[in-house]
Amino acid sequence: MVNEPLPAELLEPIESLLEHLWLSEQLAFNTLEGYRRDLSKIAHRLQLQQLNWFNVDSLSLAAAVFIDSEKPSSQARALSACKRLFSWMQEYNRRQDLPTEQLQMPKKGQHLPDIISESQIDALLTAPDTDTAHGLRDKALLELMYATGLRVSEAVNLHINEIDLHNGVLSTIGKGNKQRMVPMGEEATDWLQNYFTHARPALLKGRACDAVFVSQKKTAITRQLAWMIVTKYASAAGIHHLSPHGLRHAFATHLVNHGADLRVVQLLLGHADIGTTQIYTHVANERLKQLVQQHHPRG
């Protein structure tokens, strides 16, 4: 049915809208084709209901858009195309009403980060052998990433002049080329000092390097090596599927669990939008649910 030609009352408004968008907004070909596919799909569903763009109401349009077998993202894309069509029809007096006015975008399934407990983090941070240069470096890296919530790219790109051990803060350049100051905490600061004194010189063997974290190649560690360091000690601590970004999630989640203001967490993480940070309130809520289910007699 989808491949059958559409009748004029369903096809003509689609083509007229696309011509209008091409002339007035110079939309890219792929964007126009996306609108055509989504609107044609909805048009075929309206045809099955013996309806068209001119007489469909909100309820019938919703039935054509919100199909259970489709992902929310596909539904949202189709609804967005319909909104463009009906707004154009209203503007050019082809319809007086907006059947999309009461229709809300479907909520996309929100993927919550895996919950890493504080005891698991403790096990991770005690895993490196700090009697070796590599182990001491790894310990300092893990402590710093958990204490600051740095992205892995920010951690491996840290320079010596961006670390202030005296005041316990660092400066980093995040997404959007935005600089932010982040406190490191006493534990991470102490391990960094230890690393700078004993391990870093041993790894560099007299060669100059501006990077904070260095390898035996006497250059900055790579993102791949940082990833391997995290996963190596996570495995040793019995934590599965922990990535460097998982440490960032743990940092934020544990702050929220201990009552940190969401705006503060947003600043520390370098999120441009508070909405991105709000996921950690959901993670904290999920953890509370787990605790109740585990310990409450009627959980």
Reply yes or no on whether 151 is catalytic: yes
DSSP string of 223-269? HHHHHHHHHHHHHHTT--S--HHHHHHHHHHHHHHTT--HHHHHHHH
> β-pairing, 163-164 with 179-183?
unpaired
Asked if 41 contacts 78 with a C-beta cutoff of 8 angstroms, the reply is yes
Choose, from 35, 146, 195, 280, the residue flagged as catalytic: 280
Choose, from 151, 200, 249, 254, the residue flagged as catalytic: 151
Asked if 116 contacts 255 with a C-beta cutoff of 8 angstroms, the reply is no
Reply yes or no on whether 248 is catalytic: yes
Tokens read off for 237: 């601590």
Beta-sheet strand order (sheet of 169-173): 163-164, 169-173, 179-183
Choose, from 20, 245, 282, 287, the residue flagged as catalytic: 245
Nearest C-alpha neighbor of 196 from the set 181, 182, 213, 217: 213
Reply yes or no on whether 175 is catalytic: yes
User: Rounded to the nearest 5°, which phi and psi values hold at 214?
Assistant: -125, 165
Choose, from 45, 200, 248, 249, the residue flagged as catalytic: 248
Which amino acid is residue 59, in one-letter code?
L
Choose, from 37, 71, 108, 175, the residue flagged as catalytic: 175
Residues identified as active-site: 151, 175, 245, 248, 271, 280
